[in-house]
Amino acid sequence: MTQQTAIEAIATIGIDLGKNTFHLIGMDARGKIVLRRKIARGQLQSCLANVPVCLIGLEACTGAHHVGRQLAALGHDVRLLPARYVKPFLKGHKNDYRDAEAIAEAAQRPTMQPVPLKSAEQLDLQALHRVRSRRIGQRTAIINQIRGFLLERGIPVHQGPAGLREALPSLLAQRTDVLSPRMIHLLEDLAADWRQLDERIAAITRDIAALARQDAGCQRLMGIPGVGVITASAMVAAVGTGAAFAKGRDFAAWLGLVPKQISTGDRTILGGLSKRGNRYLRTLFVSGAQALLRYPGRWQNHCFGRWVMTAAARLHRNVLAAALANKLARMAWSVLFRRCGYEAEFATRTA
pLDDT in tens, 299-341: 887 888 888 999 999 999 999 999 999 999 999 999 999 998 8
Q: 164, 187, 214: which is the final residue of a domain?
A: 214
- Percent of the chain scoring above 70 in pLDDT: 96
pLDDT at 350: 46
Residue 100 has pLDDT above 90, yes or no: yes
pLDDT in tens, 224-253: 999 999 999 999 999 999 998 999 999 999
Distances (CA, A) of 166 to 83, 117, 139: 47, 46, 16
Q: 182, 197, 214: which is the final residue of a domain?
A: 214
Whether 35 contacts 25, CB under 8 Å: yes
Averaged pLDDT, 11-35: 93
Q: Are residues 29 and 141 in the same domain?
A: no
Indicate the average pLDDT of the chain.
91
pLDDT at 345: 60
pLDDT in tens, 138-172: 999 999 999 999 999 999 998 889 999 999 999 98
Residue 349 has pLDDT above 80, yes or no: no
CATH assignment of the domain containing 21 = 3.30.420.140
Report d(CA 182, CA 173) in Å as an integer.
Answer: 13
SS (H, E, C) 273-332: ECCCCCHHHHHHHHHHHHHHHCCHHHHHHCCCHHHHHHHHCCCCHHHHHHHHHHHHHHHH
At residue 277 the predicted structure's pLDDT band, cuts being 50, 70 and 90, is confident
Report d(CA 302, CA 295) in Å as an integer.
Answer: 12
Q: Are residues 225 and 316 in the same domain?
A: yes
Please indicate, yes or no, if residue 75 is contained in any of the structural domains.
Answer: yes
Q: Are residues 165 and 196 in the same domain?
A: yes
Whether 74 contacts 97, CB under 8 Å: no
- Domain tally for the chain? 3
Q: Are residues 344 and 224 in the same domain?
A: yes
Q: Are residues 223 and 186 in the same domain?
A: no
Please indicate, yes or no, if residue 51 is contained in any of the structural domains.
Answer: yes
Please indicate, yes or no, if residue 114 is contained in any of the structural domains.
Answer: no
pLDDT at 1: 58
Q: Which DSSP string do the residues of 66-96 spell out, in sequence order?
A: HHHHHHHHTT-EEEEE-HHHHGGG--SS--H
Q: Are residues 53 and 17 in the same domain?
A: yes
Whether 239 contacts 245, CB under 8 Å: yes
pLDDT in tens, 49-92: 888 999 999 999 989 999 999 999 999 999 999 999 999 999 88
pLDDT at 56: 96
Q: Are residues 189 and 309 in the same domain?
A: no
pLDDT at 290: 95
Please indicate, yes or no, if residue 20 is contained in any of the structural domains.
Answer: yes
Q: Are residues 182 and 206 in the same domain?
A: yes
Q: 186, 214, 242: which is the final residue of a domain?
A: 214
Q: Are residues 37 and 99 in the same domain?
A: yes
Please indicate, yes or no, if residue 47 is contained in any of the structural domains.
Answer: yes
Residue 108 has pLDDT above 90, yes or no: yes
Report d(CA 18, CA 79) in Å as an integer.
Answer: 17
177 versus 14: the higher-pLDDT residue is 14
At residue 268 the predicted structure's pLDDT band, cuts being 50, 70 and 90, is confident
Q: Where are the beta strands (DSSP E) in 28-174?
A: 33-40, 55-59, 77-81
At residue 346 the predicted structure's pLDDT band, cuts being 50, 70 and 90, is low
**Closest listed residue to residue 242, CA positions, set 220, 225, 257:** 220
Q: Are residues 84 and 154 in the same domain?
A: no
- State the residue range of the domain holding 150: 120-214
Cα-to-chain-centroid distance, residue 135: 17
Q: Are residues 223 and 196 in the same domain?
A: no
Tell me 247's DSSP state.
Answer: S
Lowest-confidence range among 48-52, 182-186, 201-205, 223-227?
Answer: 48-52
Please indicate, yes or no, if residue 115 is contained in any of the structural domains.
Answer: no
Whether 116 contacts 79, CB under 8 Å: no
Please indicate, yes or no, if residue 112 is contained in any of the structural domains.
Answer: no
Burial (Cβ within 10 Å: 0-12, 13-18, ≥19) of residue 339: exposed
Looking at the DSSP assignment, which residues form a beta bridge with residue 145?
none
Q: Are residues 172 and 196 in the same domain?
A: yes
Please indicate, yes or no, if residue 113 is contained in any of the structural domains.
Answer: no
At residue 351 the predicted structure's pLDDT band, cuts being 50, 70 and 90, is very low
